[in-house]
Amino acid sequence: MQTELKTKTPNLLPQLTHARNPGMELDLDWVARVQANTSAIERRAATLGGRRSVKKEFQAAWLLKAISLIDLTTLSGDDTAGRVKRLCAKARQPVRAEMLQALGMENLTVGAVCVYHDMVETAVRALEGTNIPVAAVSTGFPAGLSPYHLRIAEIGESVKAGAREIDIVISRRHVLTGNWQALYDEMREMRAACGDAHVKAILATGELSTLRNVARASLVCMMGGADFIKTSTGKEAVNATLPVTLTMIRCIRDYETRTGIKVGYKPAGGISKAKDALLYLALMKDELGHPWLQPDLFRYGASSLLGDIERQLEHYLTGHYSAANRHAMG
Mean pLDDT of 258-279: 96
35 occurs within a structural domain? yes
**Residue 143: predicted pLDDT:** 95
C-alpha triplet 257, 202, 226: angle, nearest 5°: 40
User: Can you tell me the distance from the alpha carbon of 107 to that of 95, in angstroms, rounded to the nearest whole number?
Assistant: 10
Q: Is the pLDDT of residue 309 over 50?
A: yes
pLDDT at site 321: 76
- CATH number, domain of 73, equals 3.20.20.70
Q: Going by C-beta distance under 8 Å and a sequence separation of 6 or more, which residues neighbour residue 240?
A: 205, 231, 232, 267, 268, 269, 270, 271, 301
- Residues 84, 115 contacting (CB under 8 angstroms): yes
CA angle 292, 88, 4 (to 5 degrees): 50
Q: How confident is the model at residue 83 (pLDDT cuts 50, 70, 90)?
A: very high
- pLDDT confidence of residue 57: 92
Catalytic residue set: 167, 230, 266
CA distance linking residue 244 with residue 236, whole number of Å: 14
In a domain, 288, yes or no: yes
Q: What is the pLDDT of residues 162-204, one digit of tens each?
A: 999 999 999 999 999 999 999 999 999 999 999 999 999 999 9
In this prediction, residue 148 carries a pLDDT of 97
Q: Would you state the pLDDT for residue 247?
A: 98
Q: How far apart are CA 294 and CA 43, in angstroms?
A: 27
Lowest mean pLDDT, pick from 1-5, 189-193, 245-249, 255-259: 1-5
The total number of structural domains in the chain stands at 1
Instruction: Determine the distance from the C-alpha atom of residue 249 to the mean position of all C-alpha atoms in its chain, rounded to a whole number.
Output: 12
Q: Give tens-digit pLDDT for 92-136.
A: 999 999 999 999 999 999 999 999 999 999 999 999 999 999 999
Q: Which residue segment(s) compose the domain that 55 sits in?
A: 2-14+26-327
Dihedral class, residue 322 (left if φ above 0, else alpha if ψ from -120 to 50, else beta) = beta
* CB crowding 136-151: b at 16 or more within 10 Å, else e: bbbbbbbebeeeeeeb
Q: Which residues contact 204 (CB under 8 A, 6 or more apart)?
A: 142, 144, 169, 170, 172, 232, 233, 236
Per the domain annotation, does 21 fall within a domain?
A: no
> What is the residue-wise DSSP string for 100-151?
HHHHT-TT---SEEEEEGGGHHHHHHHTTTS-PPEEEEESSTTTT-S-HHHH
> Residue 178: how many CB atoms within 10 A of its CB?
13
Predicted local distance difference test score (pLDDT) of residue 29: 98
Q: How many other CB atoms are there within 10 angstroms of residue 162's CB atom?
A: 17
Mean pLDDT of 19-46: 96
Assigned domain for 181 exists: yes
Biggest distance spanned by C-alpha atoms of the chain: 57
| Spatial distance between the Cα atoms of 268 and 204, rounded to a whole number of angstroms | 10
Q: What is the pLDDT of the chain when averaged over all its residues? A: 92
Within a domain: 19:
no
C-beta atoms surrounding 219 within 10 Å: 25
Instruction: Report how far residue 20's alpha carbon sits from residue 291's, in angstroms, rounded to the nearest whole number.
Output: 14
Q: Examine residue 20 and state whether it is found in any structural domain, yes or no.
A: no
Q: Rounded to the nearest 5°, which phi and psi values hold at 70? A: -85, 130
Coil, helix or strand for 58? helix
Say which amino acid occupies 137: V
Query: Which range (16-20, 182-186, 251-255) has the least confidence?
Result: 16-20
Assigned domain for 303 exists? yes
pLDDT > 90? residue 255 = yes
Q: Check residues 50 and 294 and name the one with the higher pLDDT.
A: 294
pLDDT above 70: percentage of residues in the chain:
92
3-state secondary structure of 286: helix
pLDDT of residue 14 exceeding 80, the answer is no
